[in-house]
C-alpha cells in the first residue's frame, strides 16, 4: 500500500502544484487545485501567493492566501 504524501499548503503551492486537477485534503475538506495567482503587495514587500481551489464540500471555488500563517502552515494530504 502506498502512503499519502504530507506537506504544508504553502510548500505545495510554491513547489509541487504544477498541473490543475491535483486533489488534496486539508482538515476534513477535500479540495482540487486549479491555479496559483501571485498578487503584488501595495507596500512593496513582495507578493502574496493565492491558491485557487475547488471546495468539494461547499461545491464552490475558493481563493486561499498561502502567506497567512493560519492557512499556509496547515498540513495537506495528497490523494494518490
CA within 13 Å, CB half, 67: 12
Sign of CA dihedral 3, 26, 17, 43: negative
pLDDT tens string 19-58: 899 999 999 999 999 999 998 888 888 888 999 999 999 9
Cell of 25: 485534503
Tell me what pLDDT residue 2 has.
Answer: 53
Q: Residue 1's pLDDT is what? A: 44
Closest CA to 76 of 29, 19, 21: 29
Which ranges constitute the DSSP H helices of the chain?
9-11, 69-72
Which domains occur in the chain, in start order?
Answer: 6-78 (2.30.30)
- For residue 35 the three cell numbers come to 491555479
pTM: 0.83
Amino acid at each position: 500500500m502506498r502512503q499519502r504524501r504530507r506537506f504544508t499548503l504553502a510548500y505545495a503551492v510554491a513547489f509541487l502544484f504544477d498541473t490543475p486537477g491535483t486533489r488534496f485534503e486539508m482538515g476534513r475538506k477535500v479540495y482540487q487545485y486549479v491555479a496559483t495567482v501571485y498578487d503584488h503587495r501595495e507596500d512593496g514587500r513582495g507578493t502574496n501567493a493565492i491558491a485557487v481551489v475547488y471546495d468539494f464540500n461547499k461545491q464552490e471555488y475558493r481563493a486561499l492566501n498561502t502567506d497567512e500563517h493560519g492557512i499556509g502552515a496547515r498540513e495537506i494530504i495528497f490523494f494518490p
